[in-house]
Protein backbone atom coordinates (compact mmCIF):
# COMPACT_ATOMS: atom_id res chain seq x y z
CA UNK A 1 0.00 0.00 0.00
CA UNK A 2 1.59 3.26 -1.07
CA UNK A 3 1.33 6.36 1.05
CA UNK A 4 -0.50 8.15 -1.74
CA UNK A 5 -3.50 5.86 -1.08
CA UNK A 6 -4.18 7.52 2.28
CA UNK A 7 -6.69 10.34 2.09
CA UNK A 8 -7.96 12.69 4.79
CA UNK A 9 -11.62 13.73 4.76
CA UNK A 10 -12.59 16.57 7.09
CA UNK A 11 -15.81 15.96 9.04
CA UNK A 12 -16.62 19.36 10.57
CA UNK A 13 -15.14 22.85 10.27
CA UNK A 14 -13.61 22.68 13.75
CA UNK A 15 -12.71 19.08 14.60
CA UNK A 16 -12.53 15.54 13.24
CA UNK A 17 -11.41 13.80 10.07
CA UNK A 18 -11.76 10.32 8.58
CA UNK A 19 -8.64 8.63 7.25
CA UNK A 20 -9.32 6.63 4.09
CA UNK A 21 -7.14 3.89 2.63
CA UNK A 22 -5.07 3.05 5.73
CA UNK A 23 -4.62 -0.53 6.93
CA UNK A 24 -3.55 -0.23 10.56
CA UNK A 25 -2.72 -3.93 10.80
CA UNK A 26 0.35 -3.21 8.66
CA UNK A 27 3.27 -0.98 9.67
CA UNK A 28 3.02 2.56 8.33
CA UNK A 29 5.95 3.78 6.27
CA UNK A 30 7.37 7.22 7.03
CA UNK A 31 5.17 9.07 4.54
CA UNK A 32 2.06 7.30 5.81
CA UNK A 33 3.00 8.00 9.41
CA UNK A 34 3.53 11.68 8.61
CA UNK A 35 0.12 11.87 6.92
CA UNK A 36 -1.61 10.32 9.92
CA UNK A 37 0.35 12.40 12.44
CA UNK A 38 -0.31 15.64 10.58
CA UNK A 39 -4.02 14.80 10.30
CA UNK A 40 -4.15 14.29 14.06
CA UNK A 41 -2.43 17.64 14.67
CA UNK A 42 -4.76 19.42 12.24
CA UNK A 43 -8.06 17.76 13.20
CA UNK A 44 -7.51 16.68 16.87
CA UNK A 45 -9.34 13.38 16.38
CA UNK A 46 -9.15 11.00 13.43
CA UNK A 47 -11.22 7.96 12.54
CA UNK A 48 -10.56 4.75 10.65
CA UNK A 49 -13.18 2.29 9.40
CA UNK A 50 -13.02 -1.42 8.53
CA UNK A 51 -9.92 -2.30 10.53
CA UNK A 52 -8.99 -5.77 11.76
CA UNK A 53 -6.42 -5.53 14.53
CA UNK A 54 -4.87 -8.04 16.87
CA UNK A 55 -3.84 -6.81 20.29
CA UNK A 56 -0.20 -6.73 19.16
CA UNK A 57 -1.05 -4.78 15.99
CA UNK A 58 -3.08 -2.29 18.02
CA UNK A 59 -0.15 -1.76 20.40
CA UNK A 60 2.31 -1.52 17.51
CA UNK A 61 0.29 1.28 15.90
CA UNK A 62 0.19 3.16 19.20
CA UNK A 63 3.94 2.76 19.72
CA UNK A 64 4.62 4.63 16.49
CA UNK A 65 3.55 7.73 18.41
CA UNK A 66 5.33 7.04 21.70
CA UNK A 67 5.63 4.84 24.75
CA UNK A 68 2.37 3.17 25.79
CA UNK A 69 0.70 4.24 29.02
CA UNK A 70 -0.56 1.82 31.70
CA UNK A 71 -3.79 2.91 33.37
CA UNK A 72 -3.33 3.78 37.07
CA UNK A 73 -6.67 2.41 38.31
CA UNK A 74 -8.44 0.00 35.94
CA UNK A 75 -8.13 -3.77 36.55
CA UNK A 76 -5.85 -5.71 34.21
CA UNK A 77 -8.41 -7.68 32.22
CA UNK A 78 -5.66 -8.84 29.88
CA UNK A 79 -2.78 -9.39 32.33
CA UNK A 80 -0.33 -10.26 29.57
CA UNK A 81 -1.10 -6.88 27.94
CA UNK A 82 -1.04 -4.25 30.72
CA UNK A 83 -1.16 -1.46 28.11
CA UNK A 84 -4.62 -2.57 26.96
CA UNK A 85 -7.59 -0.87 28.62
CA UNK A 86 -10.69 -2.99 28.00
CA UNK A 87 -13.80 -0.95 27.17
CA UNK A 88 -16.95 -2.94 27.78
CA UNK A 89 -20.59 -2.41 28.65
CA UNK A 90 -23.46 -4.87 29.03
CA UNK A 91 -26.58 -5.50 31.12
CA UNK A 92 -24.45 -5.85 34.27
CA UNK A 93 -22.66 -2.51 33.90
CA UNK A 94 -23.11 0.20 36.52
CA UNK A 95 -20.76 2.58 34.70
CA UNK A 96 -19.15 2.86 31.29
CA UNK A 97 -15.86 4.43 30.34
CA UNK A 98 -16.03 8.16 29.59
CA UNK A 99 -19.55 9.02 30.70
CA UNK A 100 -18.72 12.72 31.06
CA UNK A 101 -16.58 15.22 29.19
CA UNK A 102 -12.92 14.65 30.00
CA UNK A 103 -9.33 14.26 28.86
CA UNK A 104 -7.99 10.80 29.69
CA UNK A 105 -6.15 10.46 33.02
CA UNK A 106 -5.53 14.20 33.31
CA UNK A 107 -4.71 13.54 36.99
CA UNK A 108 -1.33 12.07 35.98
CA UNK A 109 1.71 14.30 36.41
CA UNK A 110 2.34 13.73 32.69
CA UNK A 111 -1.13 13.22 31.17
CA UNK A 112 -1.41 11.06 28.05
CA UNK A 113 -0.58 12.43 24.62
CA UNK A 114 -3.41 10.53 22.97
CA UNK A 115 -5.64 7.46 22.99
CA UNK A 116 -6.58 4.94 20.30
CA UNK A 117 -9.89 3.10 20.76
CA UNK A 118 -10.78 0.07 18.64
CA UNK A 119 -14.35 -1.19 18.98
CA UNK A 120 -15.32 -4.61 17.67
CA UNK A 121 -18.84 -4.90 19.11
CA UNK A 122 -21.42 -2.13 19.17
CA UNK A 123 -25.10 -1.95 20.17
CA UNK A 124 -27.22 -3.63 17.47
CA UNK A 125 -29.84 -0.88 17.41
CA UNK A 126 -27.46 2.07 17.37
CA UNK A 127 -26.34 4.35 20.16
CA UNK A 128 -23.01 4.53 21.90
CA UNK A 129 -21.72 7.48 19.87
CA UNK A 130 -18.69 9.40 21.12
CA UNK A 131 -18.47 13.19 21.03
CA UNK A 132 -15.14 15.01 20.75
CA UNK A 133 -14.68 18.74 21.43
CA UNK A 134 -11.98 21.17 20.33
CA UNK A 135 -10.22 22.71 23.35
CA UNK A 136 -8.29 25.22 21.22
CA UNK A 137 -11.60 26.63 20.09
CA UNK A 138 -13.02 26.38 23.61
CA UNK A 139 -10.26 28.73 24.77
CA UNK A 140 -10.33 31.02 21.74
CA UNK A 141 -14.10 31.60 21.92
CA UNK A 142 -14.02 32.78 25.51
CA UNK A 143 -14.27 36.54 25.93
CA UNK A 144 -10.99 38.40 26.32
CA UNK A 145 -11.61 39.27 30.01
CA UNK A 146 -12.23 35.59 30.83
CA UNK A 147 -9.11 34.53 28.93
CA UNK A 148 -7.10 37.07 30.93
CA UNK A 149 -8.66 35.76 34.15
CA UNK A 150 -7.73 32.11 33.59
CA UNK A 151 -4.35 32.51 31.85
CA UNK A 152 -1.69 31.62 34.39
CA UNK A 153 -4.04 29.84 36.81
CA UNK A 154 -3.44 26.25 37.86
CA UNK A 155 -5.93 23.55 38.82
CA UNK A 156 -5.68 20.34 40.80
CA UNK A 157 -6.63 17.17 38.89
CA UNK A 158 -7.44 14.24 41.17
CA UNK A 159 -7.96 10.56 40.37
CA UNK A 160 -9.49 9.99 43.79
CA UNK A 161 -12.79 11.67 42.97
CA UNK A 162 -13.37 9.49 39.90
CA UNK A 163 -11.52 6.20 40.39
CA UNK A 164 -12.26 5.29 44.02
CA UNK A 165 -14.63 2.30 44.02
CA UNK A 166 -15.40 2.61 40.34
CA UNK A 167 -14.06 -0.70 39.07
CA UNK A 168 -15.58 -3.08 41.62
CA UNK A 169 -12.25 -4.12 43.10
CA UNK A 170 -10.74 -3.64 46.54
CA UNK A 171 -8.83 -0.39 46.18
CA UNK A 172 -8.45 0.32 49.90
CA UNK A 173 -5.06 1.80 50.58
CA UNK A 174 -4.48 2.65 46.94
CA UNK A 175 -3.23 6.15 46.21
CA UNK A 176 -4.51 7.63 42.96
CA UNK A 177 -2.65 10.27 40.94
CA UNK A 178 -3.11 13.91 41.87
CA UNK A 179 -1.41 16.74 39.99
CA UNK A 180 -1.49 20.48 39.33
CA UNK A 181 -1.79 21.61 35.72
CA UNK A 182 -2.33 24.94 33.97
CA UNK A 183 -5.97 25.80 33.35
CA UNK A 184 -4.78 26.81 29.87
CA UNK A 185 -1.99 24.66 28.45
CA UNK A 186 0.18 25.12 25.38
CA UNK A 187 0.28 22.23 22.94
CA UNK A 188 3.91 21.07 22.59
CA UNK A 189 3.65 20.56 18.82
CA UNK A 190 1.25 23.20 17.50
CA UNK A 191 2.08 25.79 20.22
CA UNK A 192 -1.59 26.72 20.39
CA UNK A 193 -3.34 27.38 23.70
CA UNK A 194 -6.03 24.95 24.83
CA UNK A 195 -8.43 24.82 27.76
CA UNK A 196 -7.34 22.04 30.13
CA UNK A 197 -9.96 21.45 32.83
CA UNK A 198 -12.65 18.77 32.86
CA UNK A 199 -15.58 17.59 34.97
CA UNK A 200 -14.14 14.14 35.59
CA UNK A 201 -10.78 14.97 37.15
CA UNK A 202 -10.48 18.68 37.91
CA UNK A 203 -11.04 19.25 41.64
CA UNK A 204 -10.42 22.98 42.10
CA UNK A 205 -8.45 25.98 40.91
CA UNK A 206 -5.40 26.68 43.03
CA UNK A 207 -5.51 29.84 45.17
CA UNK A 208 -9.24 30.51 44.85
CA UNK A 209 -11.97 30.11 47.44
CA UNK A 210 -14.21 27.11 46.84
CA UNK A 211 -17.20 29.16 45.67
CA UNK A 212 -14.97 31.13 43.27
CA UNK A 213 -13.34 28.00 41.89
CA UNK A 214 -16.66 26.16 41.53
CA UNK A 215 -18.25 29.07 39.67
CA UNK A 216 -15.39 29.49 37.21
CA UNK A 217 -15.06 25.76 36.56
CA UNK A 218 -18.80 25.32 36.00
CA UNK A 219 -18.78 28.21 33.53
CA UNK A 220 -15.86 26.58 31.66
CA UNK A 221 -17.47 23.13 31.69
CA UNK A 222 -20.69 24.46 30.20
CA UNK A 223 -18.68 26.29 27.56
CA UNK A 224 -16.85 23.07 26.66
CA UNK A 225 -20.22 21.41 26.05
CA UNK A 226 -21.15 23.94 23.32
CA UNK A 227 -22.29 21.85 20.31
CA UNK A 228 -20.36 23.96 17.81
CA UNK A 229 -17.07 22.78 19.34
CA UNK A 230 -17.78 19.10 18.74
CA UNK A 231 -17.96 16.26 16.27
CA UNK A 232 -20.15 13.20 16.94
CA UNK A 233 -18.74 9.85 15.81
CA UNK A 234 -21.14 7.02 15.05
CA UNK A 235 -19.36 3.74 15.65
CA UNK A 236 -19.52 0.71 13.42
CA UNK A 237 -17.84 -2.61 14.21
CA UNK A 238 -14.06 -2.55 13.65
CA UNK A 239 -13.78 1.25 13.76
CA UNK A 240 -10.89 3.13 15.33
CA UNK A 241 -10.83 6.60 16.92
CA UNK A 242 -7.50 8.28 17.71
CA UNK A 243 -7.69 11.51 19.70
CA UNK A 244 -5.19 14.04 21.01
CA UNK A 245 -5.77 14.34 24.76
CA UNK A 246 -3.80 17.58 24.92
CA UNK A 247 -6.31 19.60 22.92
CA UNK A 248 -9.52 17.54 22.74
CA UNK A 249 -12.04 16.24 25.25
CA UNK A 250 -14.51 13.44 24.67
CA UNK A 251 -17.77 12.11 26.03
CA UNK A 252 -19.10 8.58 25.51
CA UNK A 253 -22.89 8.50 25.24
CA UNK A 254 -24.42 5.62 27.25
CA UNK A 255 -27.83 5.44 25.60
CA UNK A 256 -27.83 1.72 24.75
CA UNK A 257 -28.31 -0.14 28.06
CA UNK A 258 -28.63 -3.18 28.30
CA UNK A 259 -26.95 -3.77 24.90
CA UNK A 260 -23.29 -4.70 24.65
CA UNK A 261 -20.32 -2.65 23.55
CA UNK A 262 -16.76 -3.96 23.52
CA UNK A 263 -13.32 -2.85 22.46
CA UNK A 264 -9.70 -2.17 23.41
CA UNK A 265 -7.90 1.11 24.00
CA UNK A 266 -4.23 1.91 24.02
CA UNK A 267 -3.02 5.22 25.38
CA UNK A 268 0.23 7.00 24.55
CA UNK A 269 2.35 8.64 27.23
CA UNK A 270 2.60 12.41 27.18
CA UNK A 271 4.54 15.11 28.99
CA UNK A 272 3.98 17.67 31.73
CA UNK A 273 1.60 20.44 30.59
CA UNK A 274 2.88 24.00 30.54
Inter-residue contact 263 to 87 (CB < 8 Å): yes
Spatial separation of the C-alpha atoms in residues 16 and 14, rounded to whole Å? 7
Compute and round to an integer the Cα radius of gyration of the chain. Answer: 18
Distance from C-alpha of 264 to C-alpha of 259, rounded to nearest angstrom: 17
Active site residues: 102, 104, 250, 265
Q: What are phi and psi of 3, to 5 degrees?
A: -65, -25
Residues 6+ apart with CB under 8 A from 52: 25, 238
Q: What residues are paired with 263 via a beta bridge?
A: 87, 119
Which sign does the torsion angle of CA 226, 227, 228, 232 carry?
positive
> Is 53:118 a contact under the CB 8 Å cutoff?
yes
| CA contacts within 13 A on the Cβ side of 234 | 5
Burial class (CB within 10 angstroms; exposed 0-12, middle 13-18, buried 19+) of 198 = buried
Amino acid sequence: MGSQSIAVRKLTPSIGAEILGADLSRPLDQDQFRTVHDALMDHLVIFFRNQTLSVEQHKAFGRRFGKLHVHPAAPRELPEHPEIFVVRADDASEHVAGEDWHSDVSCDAEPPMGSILYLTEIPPDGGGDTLFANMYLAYETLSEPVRKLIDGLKAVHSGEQYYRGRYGIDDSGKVFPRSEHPVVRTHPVTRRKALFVNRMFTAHIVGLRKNESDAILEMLYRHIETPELAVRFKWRPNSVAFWDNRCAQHHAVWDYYPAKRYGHRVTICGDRPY
